[in-house]
């Protein structure tokens, strides 16, 4: 005799899931506990089907505890956890970049996760990493809005104001446009995807804002992981240029009556010396100036080396 399955039978059939980090088993109850503790407080204020719960449930408790979140901002410019002398020698604002923030410190565990995503093509890590960036965005963005008062905060609906009041969450700015550090054609063929674009797309989807390929890579000097600070600067000189057609589309959709500067968020996977985001911000700033668009550019990376 066939009888319809009850909810308890469905639970018993999916009692365990596999952790994407260590491939260990995650008890069903543990996944529900994680969703209850993390999911309700960490969603973006905009309409989204993508929440913290949807990525944290893919990690066991041990792997979640291994995440090296940046808890304190030591440098208000680059977002490093400790005081930074690099920003004194190479101010971000000189390149048109208001500030950078990163979700995690680039620990050995985080290096292993990035390697699986970036070099082994494990697409599951894109959701994990973007989820971590969503989870930390409100706290990190609050430090930027305090540092740059000219970044305006979008009006919030009543239910979101109520949620922030209940949980004592800060009111933070969300980007008008999300863009990303472009890959070279060679890297796209090699990997089949651009890691920064994948992260930017997930973030923009969660925030219900446009993601636009505003930049293009003009030159390729090979991998930069073996280069020092001066070598990276030389390799990236003139490496990026604004994508003219996309920039024209952005201009056409810009509300010229709004006197507040546009908030553009530049996404990348890792901030090492800052050479890449500075070069991208410099190219964007020059092009936006030519089109007479007032904008504040901030970068947001998954990790800070």
Q: How do the pLDDT tens digits run along the chain, 305 residues long? A: 454 545 444 544 456 788 989 989 887 654 444 444 444 333 333 333 344 447 888 899 999 999 999 998 899 899 998 888 888 888 898 999 999 999 999 999 999 999 999 999 888 899 999 999 998 998 788 777 665 555 555 555 676 667 667 776 656 778 999 999 999 888 888 889 999 999 999 999 988 899 999 999 987 665 655 555 565 666 677 789 999 999 999 988 877 666 678 899 999 999 998 999 999 999 999 999 998 888 999 999 999 99
| Angle separating helix axes 195-207 and 124-147, nearest 10 degrees | 70
Strand partners, 267: 180, 300
Assessment of whether the complete model's pTM goes beyond 0.75: yes
- Cα three-residue angle 123-299-91, rounded to 5 degrees: 140
Contact by Cβ (8 Å): 243, 215 = yes
Closest CA to 225 of 274, 279, 272, 267: 272
List beta partners, residue 118.
none
Residue 208 has which token pair?
Answer: 């219900």
Dihedral sign for Cα atoms in the order 65, 26, 52, 123: positive
């Amino acid at each position: 005799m066939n009888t319809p399955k009850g909810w308890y039978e469905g639970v018993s059939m999916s009692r365990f899931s596999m952790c994407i980090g260590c491939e260990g088993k995650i008890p069903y109850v543990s996944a529900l506990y994680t969703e209850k503790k993390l999911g309700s407080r960490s969603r973006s204020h905009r309409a989204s089907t993508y929440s913290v719960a949807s990525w944290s449930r893919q990690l066991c408790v041990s792997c979640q505890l291994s995440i090296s979140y940046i808890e304190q901002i030591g440098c208000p410019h680059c977002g490093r956890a400790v005081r930074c002398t690099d920003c004194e020698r190479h101010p971000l604002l000189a390149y048109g970049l208001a500030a950078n923030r990163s979700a995690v410190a680039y620990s050995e565990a985080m290096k292993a996760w990035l390697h699986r995503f970036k070099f082994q093509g494990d697409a599951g890590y894109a959701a994990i990493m973007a989820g971590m960036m969503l989870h930390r965005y409100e706290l990190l963005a609050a430090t930027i809005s305090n540092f740059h008062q000219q970044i305006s905060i979008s009006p919030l609906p009543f239910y979101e104001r109520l949620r922030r009041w209940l949980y004592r969450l800060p009111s933070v700015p969300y980007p008008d446009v999300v863009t990303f550090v472009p890959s070279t054609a060679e890297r796209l063929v090699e990997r089949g995807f651009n890691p920064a674009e994948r992260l930017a797309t997930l973030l923009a989807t969660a925030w219900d804002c446009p993601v636009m390929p505003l930049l293009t890579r003009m030159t390729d000097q090979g991998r930069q992981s073996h280069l020092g600070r001066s070598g990276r600067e030389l390799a990236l000189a003139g490496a990026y240029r604004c994508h003219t057609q996309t920039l024209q589309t952005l201009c056409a959709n810009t509300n010229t009556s709004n006197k507040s500067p546009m908030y553009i968020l530049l996404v990348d996977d890792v901030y090492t010396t800052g050479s890449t985001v500075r070069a991208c911000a410099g190219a964007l700033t020059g092009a936006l100036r030519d089109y007479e668009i007032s904008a504040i550019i901030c970068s947001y990376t998954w990790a800070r080396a």
